[in-house]
Structure 1
């Protein structure tokens, strides 16, 4: 049986946002540790993409975007 919090979409979106943000932080920390420009660029691009996903989850939670609002 699922706990009531597990049925709440925000429970899941918040957990995903946290995991994604942890990965963004890790990528940006590692940028300072590598000297290869291609890898630095890939890490930075990855961090930006994941940050966009964090924002998308946030928009979903707040229903900021028309796509996340229920249609009538």
Structure 2
């Protein structure tokens, strides 16, 4: 049976935000480790996209957007 924490949507959104931030940080750290400009650009683009996804989880949690207020 699922615990109370498992049923709380914020528990899951916060865990996902943490994991997304870890991946964002890893991508940005690796930008300095590679020489290929295209790969650097791909890493930065991926970090930006994941940042947007992390913001969406935060907006859901805080009910900042009209779509999450229903």
Q: Shared fold by TM > 0.5?
A: yes
Q: Give the whole-Å Cα distance in 1 for the aligned partners of 2:13 and 2:54.
A: 9
Q: What is the number of equivalent residue pairs in this alignment? A: 70
RMSD: 0.4
Match of 2:52 in 1: 52
Give the 4+ runs in structure 1 shifted more than 3 A: none
Please, which runs of 5 or more residues in structure 1 have no aligned partner?
A: none
Normalised by the size of structure 2, how large is the TM-score? 0.98
Please, which runs of 5 or more residues in structure 2 have no aligned partner?
A: none
Normalised by the size of structure 1, how large is the TM-score? 0.96
